[in-house]
Amino acid sequence: MAPHRLPTIIALLLALALTAAACGVEGDPEVAEEEPDDDPEEEPEDVDDEDEDDEPDEPEDEPDELAGEITFSTLQLSPDFDDYIEGLIAEFEDEHPEVTVDWVDIPFEGAQERLLTDAATGELADVVNLNPDFAFPLAVEGEFMDLEAELDQELIDIYVEGAWDAFRYPNRDGAYAFPWYLSSEVTMFNADIMEEAGLDPDDPPESFPELFEQATQIADETEAYGWHPALENRFIEDLVKEGVEVFDEDATEVNLTDPAAIAYVEELQDLYEAGAVSSDYVVEGHRAEIEAYQAGEVGLFTSGPQFLGIVEENAPEIAEATGVGPQVVGETGAIDMAVMGLMVPTDTEHPDEALAFAEFMTNAENQLAFFDEAQVFPSVEDALEDERIADFETDDEREADAIRILGEQIAEGEMLRPVAVDDEVNSALIANAQEAVLGDISAEEALENAEMEVQDILNRRDAGVPEDLEDDG
């Protein structure tokens, strides 16, 4: 487990305080040496005073003491994790008696709109829990501290590199959040369906070619569909896995007509034509994917391990037949993950306290405690190697397998979804991709249309034109 480290600014203040205390202790003996010449009889009394001044506890009373009231906002963690969050706040306040932390939990529904309003009115919390997407419009406007300008490299290096890099933004240097908790997906499969199709459940797909081949074989040999693509949830990430540079460095130019993108959509067309995915699956999202899997309609299911519990509750016979394999990767071999972080606004009145609290919440010990609570993964490298993850055991062997697999994967994970892909951009991409997969237009035409639509969105935003005005025009 990585040792607890303070942000640079706090460490410097502590060093200054200890230096000042040491100078005071060294100065007193010089006074005591001069006084005996005037009145030797008072020397013992002066020595006693010196001893009182030189009490070993005194330097500990002088170091920089954080003080003030800060607000900490999270995204939909209450009431499920009240004990965890409130317990850590109490511990931090015990370590820093002059600091009060007020916790506010924000529901996901309407969260981004509320945060934008809070930023406009100067009411953002001192420590804000956000994912990179939600933070994007605020970060590019300079609302959050660049932590690479505030922290020393030793602290930065404790975090998983891909998690730290998830909070880098176009046209801005630096990184803007302490990575907090991480999640990712594995491949789950119905072993009964795989065996019926003549496939080996001990050899689940690990790449797109293997996934597509096995999905097609399932469709050919059984009554089940092979795979549910849930395009709206993973299409853009899959393009990135295949090596497509969707945006340029500034996120002002889009590139969707890359040969790798066209080839991927053509593979999806082939799956649909082969009956490996249904027409409904092409236009459905993740919720329908879960429903299809637990109904026994589909053989392969790519999702986070937390959904094993949902399948267990709703369809225990399907859960019993479920096996777990690693995340399917593309040409790049990249592992996708989702990242949550803690950000500190540039206009906070308590920067030292906010930085210290964010670092405290994301240290290895406290993140492992969160893993114990929720099986979300820590962003500190040493914590991912802890035996609680590496040797994870539970009564449900499928869950244990998924946790151990993800513990290894996440250490090399990245957030593959570009931050410029919001709901509007994603909708334009998915609508065109769905047309192509269903065979209404070619893959190349669909991606050309998507590229033009997304470029129009980016141009409009760059010009500062509101969406409703563009529509009216």
How many CB atoms are closer than 10 A to CB 284?
19
Q: In this predicted structure, what is the pLDDT of residue 466?
A: 57
Pairing of strands 377-378, 178-184: antiparallel
From the list 396, 401, 221, the residue with the least C-alpha distance to 320 is 396
Q: How large is the angle between the packed helices 231-241 and 286-294, nearest 10 degrees?
A: 100
Q: In this predicted structure, what is the pLDDT of residue 59?
A: 47
Residue with tokens 């009373």: 61
From the list 285, 237, 282, 280, the residue with the least C-alpha distance to 261 is 237
Cα diameter, the chain:
107
Strand partners, 342: 129, 178
Q: Is the pTM of this model over 0.85?
A: no
Q: In this predicted structure, what is the pLDDT of residue 463?
A: 82
Token pair in block for residue 241? 């896995």
3-state class of 184 per DSSP? strand
Amino acid identity, residue 377? F
Judging by beta carbons within 10 Å of its beta carbon (0-12, 13-18, 19+), is residue 436 exposed, middle or buried?
Answer: buried
Q: Please, are residues 244 and 258 in contact by the beta-carbon 8 Å criterion?
A: yes
Strand partners, 71: 102
From the list 220, 210, 195, 339, the residue with the least C-alpha distance to 273 is 220
Block means of pLDDT (10 residues each) for the chain, 473 residues, are: 29 28 31 40 45 48 78 97 98 97 96 93 97 94 97 98 97 96 96 98 97 98 97 96 96 97 98 97 93 96 88 94 97 97 98 98 98 95 95 89 94 96 95 98 98 97 65 50
Q: In this predicted structure, what is the pLDDT of residue 309?
A: 87
Token pair in block for residue 377? 């993964």
Q: Please, are residues 201 and 194 in contact by the beta-carbon 8 Å criterion?
A: yes
Token pair in block for residue 327? 């995340």
What count of residues does the chain have? 473
In angstroms, the CA 127 to CA 132 distance is 15
Q: Please, are residues 282 and 351 in contact by the beta-carbon 8 Å criterion?
A: no
Residue with tokens 């067309």: 269
In angstroms, the CA 419 to CA 119 distance is 19
In angstroms, the CA 428 to CA 408 distance is 34
Q: Name the DSSP class of 171.
A: T
Token pair in block for residue 187? 């491949």
List of domains in the chain: 68-176+339-410 (3.40.190.10), 186-335+416-472 (3.40.190.10)
Q: Please, are residues 151 and 287 in contact by the beta-carbon 8 Å criterion?
A: no
In angstroms, the CA 387 to CA 403 distance is 12
How many CB atoms are closer than 10 A to CB 342?
25
Q: In this predicted structure, what is the pLDDT of residue 66?
A: 96
Q: How far is CA 231 from CA 22, 121, 422, in A?
A: 64, 37, 15
| Residues near 178 by beta carbon (within 8 Å), at least 6 away in sequence | 147, 159, 341, 342, 343, 358, 359, 361, 362, 379
Residue with tokens 């009564």: 395
| CA atoms lying within 13 Å on the CB side of residue 254 | 26
In angstroms, the CA 445 to CA 416 distance is 25
Q: Please, are residues 182 and 379 in contact by the beta-carbon 8 Å criterion?
A: yes
